[in-house]
């Protein structure tokens, strides 16, 4: 476990003096049920609040012309389970998680809800270890890619990136988007697009542009994946 922790800290870009705090952040509640120590649930609670505050402050300062609605939707996308789970996968948190044997055998190391919770717990652990400035720096670094791609009114555009990252990790390949239907006059077209992995259709989306329909399809694919439908 020591080597995994050392490698993880390098990926996190943060070195813990209190190793027990890091271990707790990586401990799923299933492990505690088998006689382990404290789980990361309380840290998740704190980390969720810190994430929300840091992301809200960033958006408020970076986009002074955005409406409250734009800010709210952007924040919701940035702190959502798919976004944070993608962060967890990039950091390879699954390798260092402490899970019960049953949870591990059922695929817990790659489960989005568990990875999301671990990211939130790590945020809280860094905050408790080194303060808000260190937590903010980590959050903004981990979320740099989605922060750089999000724009007002198009928060869902990041679903394509999230789906791509998940499929690259799990299948070592990229999804393909195909136009199934195109209707309406040139000035008011409607597109129906499917996203596929090989011959498997992962999701279908509708939009007033190909880009919008692709994002809708990617979103459906992610939702179906979360619900165990593909």
Q: What is the dihedral of CA 93, 90, 138, 113, to 10 degrees?
A: -60
Strands 200-207 and 190-197: what pairing? antiparallel
> CA-to-CA distance for 165 and 41, rounded, in angstroms?
26
Cα separation of the two ends of the chain: 32
Is the separation of the CB atoms in 221 and 203 below 8 Å? yes
- The count of other CB atoms within 10 Å of the CB of residue 180 is 14
Residue 73 is encoded by which pair of tokens?
């939707």
Active site annotation includes 48: yes
Which one from 44, 120, 158, 212 is the annotated catalytic residue?
Answer: 120
Quickly list H helices, the chain. 2-12, 19-25, 29-32, 41-62, 68-78, 81-90, 101-105, 112-130, 132-142, 144-149, 158-171, 210-226
Distance separating alpha carbons of residues 119 and 141, to the nearest angstrom: 13
The active-site residue, picked from 44, 48, 212, 214, is 48
Residues with a known catalytic role: 48, 120
């Amino acid at each position: 476990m020591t080597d995994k922790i050392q490698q993880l800290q390098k990926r996190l870009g943060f070195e813990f003096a209190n190793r027990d705090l890091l271990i707790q952040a990586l401990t799923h509640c299933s492990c505690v049920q088998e006689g382990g120590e404290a789980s990361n649930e309380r840290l998740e609670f704190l980390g969720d609040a810190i994430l929300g505050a840091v992301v809200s402050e960033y958006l408020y300062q970076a986009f002074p012309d955005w409406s409250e609605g734009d800010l709210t939707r952007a924040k919701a996308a940035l702190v959502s389970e798919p976004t944070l789970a993608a962060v967890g996968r990039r950091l390879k948190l699954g390798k260092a998680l402490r899970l019960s044997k049953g949870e591990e055998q059922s695929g817990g190391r790659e489960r989005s809800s568990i990875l999301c919770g671990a990211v939130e717990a790590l945020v809280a652990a860094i905050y408790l270890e080194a303060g808000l400035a260190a937590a903010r720096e980590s959050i903004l670094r981990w979320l740099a890619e989605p922060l750089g791609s999000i724009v007002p009114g198009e928060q869902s555009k990041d679903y394509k990136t999230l789906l791509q990252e998940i499929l690259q990790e799990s299948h070592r390949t990229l999804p393909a988007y195909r136009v199934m239907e195109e209707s309406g006059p040139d000035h008011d077209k409607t597109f129906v697009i499917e996203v596929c992995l090989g011959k498997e259709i992962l999701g279908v989306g509708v939009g007033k542009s190909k880009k919008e329909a692709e994002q809708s399809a990617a979103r459906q694919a992610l939702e179906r994946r979360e619900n165990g439908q593909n």
